[in-house]
Amino acid sequence: MALRLNIDKRAAPGRGAGVNPHPRFEREERSEFHDGWQLEEDEEAPPPLRTHVTEEAAKSVITRNASPDIGFDRSINAYRGCEHGCVYCFARPTHAYLGLSPGLDFETRLFAKPEAAALLRRELAAPNYRARSIAIGTNTDPYQPIERERKITRAILEVLAETCHPVGIVTKSDLVVRDLDILAPMAAQGLAKVALSVTTLDGALARTMEPRAPTPKKRLAAVRALAEAGVPVSVLVAPIVPAINDQEIEDIVAAAAEAGARTVNFVLLRLPHEVKDIVRDWLARHFPDRARRVMSVMQAMRGGKDYDARWGLRQRGEGPYADAIAARMALAVKRHGLEIGSVRLRTDLFRAPQRPRAQLDLFG
């Protein structure tokens, strides 16, 4: 029976979550409390939280889904957890399946899949495999800081390029530009597209919401570099948080158009499972004057609840505020000659990799 020590590490610099909530699947929980034997001012500051990476021996790498909310049925995530530390990340609750907290654990205890490219090659070689666009970065960012050294995402792209397999990438990082030598030729064949998430143009707000992600200026520079290289690029205004960044919608769309984006999309803040408590704590610490307002609007869009998981509503919400956001987006997109949506990729060029021959073939 696993035990989790639920410690409030509010002093963790450079991290998004201020708490480490108990994983919902664990039966027992331990919490620290002050026993009065030591004055708080005499206590030593906690050591800085370091990022730990564990290599995962995955058995497969392509994940499939049947959600009508999204335009793909398969995806690849090279990493579990994400060091960017975006406080609002809807993927945080997945760490609970590992017996870890969706809070600080999610951004400090990461898992990498070093054999992802080899697994992908094997799965693409299966006789019954049929090509459809693979999405990369749907759960955690494929270009988070550890990708600089591990290059797992790049190895995956090399396999997809070799097999002429279509791919769509979602990221917050300008590191994606590193792989233009792969992405540009694929895009010329109609096989690649990239979406950059731009939550705000305010650098200070970005550091608060996404402490270890590249700055908004770097992301827009990446949009420009991708566009100039011929890669279809979209900007995601996501997530839109009431009373925090919703006033920037028009400015972000304008910046996206100026940088060369072809399309834009938007998603309203989602608060599944533990995310709602992490965001509530974050609001109380950073925006105490607006915390109640944010949650009030969120609940108004979710039928009085913090979150509504129904398909068709979980990303856009419903009600007057949701309708107003959609109308503002539509008007801004029209003003700048963009579209809401995504570029379709080709699937007819796919060629399966050669299947590994049985050992006995060596003697044939």
Digit-coded pLDDT (tens) for 327-342: 999 999 999 999 998 8
The whole-angstrom separation of Cα 102 and Cα 90 is 10
Candidates 126, 122, 117, 193; CA nearest to 157 is: 117
In this model, does residue 39 exceed pLDDT 90? no
Rounded mean pLDDT of the chain? 89
Q: What is the mean pLDDT of residues 109-115?
A: 97
- At residue 190, the pLDDT reads 98
Q: What is the mean pLDDT of residues 49-63?
A: 93
Candidates 230, 235, 62, 221; CA nearest to 136 is: 62
Alpha helices in 174-290 (DSSP H): 180-188, 203-209, 216-228, 249-259, 275-286
Which domains are seen in the chain, by residue range? 56-337 (3.80.30.30)
* Contact predicate 163/352, CB 8 Å: yes
- At residue 9, the pLDDT reads 45
Backbone phi, psi, residue 143, to 5°: -120, 30
Is pLDDT larger for residue 61 or for residue 73?
Answer: 61
Whole-number percent of the chain with pLDDT over 90? 75
- At residue 2, the pLDDT reads 37
In this model, does residue 42 exceed pLDDT 50? yes
Helices (H) and strands (E) in the chain — how many of each? 11, 13
Q: What is the mean pLDDT of residues 51-66?
A: 92
Candidates 338, 299, 343; CA nearest to 318 is: 299
Q: What is the mean pLDDT of residues 256-284?
A: 95
The whole-angstrom separation of Cα 233 and Cα 261 is 5
Q: Tens digits of per-residue pLDDT, 272-288? A: 999 999 999 999 999 99
